[in-house]
Amino acid sequence: MTIQFSNYMADVLATRHHLHQYPEIGLSEFDTSDYVVKQLEALGYEVHRGLAKTGVVATLRNGTSRKSIGIRADFDALPILEETGAAYASKNPGVMHACGHDGHTAMLLGAARILAERRNFDGVVHLIFQPAEENFGGAKIMMDDGLFEKFPCDAVFALHNDPTIPFGKFALREGPIMAAVDECIITVNGRGGHGAEPQDTADPIVCGASIIMALQTIISRNIHPIDPSVITVGAFHAGAASNVIPERAEMKLSIRSFDPKVRDQLEDRIRTIAEGQAASYGMSVTLDYQRGYNATINHKAETDFIRSLAVDFAGADKVYDMDRPTMGSEDFAYMLEERPGCYFFLGTQRTPNDPPLHHPRYDFNDDILPVGTSFWVELTERWLAVK
């Protein structure tokens, strides 16, 4: 059964632009949730609300099979001031869909309509509209609230648009595809004073600079060369005047890894180096080390399924296995820890100079809407094929 997407394009595009105009930050997507629910209820889905506060799960049953599938779309936005100049630009100042979650949700809602109309499957479909992917681990919260107990899924799938990948190409890989992410705030506790009398102070800026340089040796000298990992010091704050040595200096770190043992090793070395460097300067440090999302690990059978489906759907020239995982992170990792599944990327590149994700001029490429929408329908109908 061929999908005549032209019959649906106007509505999917309108949905995408509406969501873009009214973005909401994670765990506060109340209007977004209402908008999604209204569409799903009109299509005849069983709709459940309340997981992770604003999460929505829509269920559609057809035939007699008990086999089930879960497809996830995230719908939170970012605290970024939009600079796209689009006619449908954000009406909520300082908040924008700078990661394409508006497009993800629009495509899954489009697929929801087609699935409901065609009923060309045998089993149970759970469409998971997830809040708070960006910062608060909405996937984990939904699971803690009983997602898979209430809505059993034999497998789960999710995609992310990527403006660095050529338009319409599917990128995937078995095993690790995205990294675990942790954050650490290191505060150096010094003794402030006049910049003209440094001998009477304990300068936390000098100590902090030494810590930053020493941290660079962890990846190059402590972690095995074939274990990908990253330590980035993204912020270093201290002082406010040229002639005043401050009391404290603060560093903010982002740490990425894949192997749980390497993850532990990174934390241990960061603590040891920060404390040791500070002690050598006669100072102390405090560390606030926060474990973030786990690594996103795809399952073999489901990844093989997506690869085969994508080749049939788009052609072999549009599908490739990534040479290496990305160092970004994704809370779909938690769903993949509990259920088999696959997370993959769909290329949306317009030009090689497209603004990247999380950029104030980024805007989801609407031309991919029929591709993503149709693919979700094809995936569901093949996974829950009518015998």
With beta carbons less than 8 A apart as the criterion, state whether 202 and 261 touch: no
Q: Which residue in this structure is represented by tokens 């209402």?
A: 34
**Residue type present at position 114:** I
Token pair listed for 234:
């993204």
Residue type, position 19, single letter: L
Q: Which helix (H) or strand (E) holds 290?
A: strand 284-291
Compute the distance between CA of residue 293 and CA of residue 67 in angstroms, rounded to an integer.
Answer: 29
∠ CA(170), CA(382), CA(127), 5° rounding? 80
- As a whole number of angstroms, the distance between CA 266 and CA 98 comes to 30
The vertex-174 CA angle with 56 and 52, nearest 5°, equals: 20
Token digits for 60? Answer: 């559609």
Please tell me which residue in 24, 29, 74, 76 is annotated as part of the active site.
76
Q: Tell me the C-alpha distance between 286 and 36, whole Å.
A: 44
Q: Torsions phi, psi of 153, nearest 5?
A: -130, 130
Question: Of 29, 82, 133, 381, which is the active-site residue?
Answer: 133
Give the CA distances from residue 73 to residues 43, 240, 331, 332, in Å, rounded to whole numbers and listed in that order: 18, 44, 12, 10
Nearest to 84 by CA among 326, 327, 368, 350: 350
Rounded to whole angstroms, the Cα distance separating 167 from 198 reads 58
Q: What CA–CA distance (Å, rounded) separates 25 from 42?
A: 26
Q: Is 76 a catalytic residue?
A: yes
Residue 249, C-beta contacts closer than 8 angstroms, at least 6 positions apart:
187, 188, 190, 204, 205, 207, 208, 236, 237, 238, 239
Q: What is the H or E stretch that residue 163 is in?
A: strand 156-166
Q: Is 154 a catalytic residue?
A: no
DSSP run (H or E) holding 213: helix 204-217
Active site residues: 76, 133
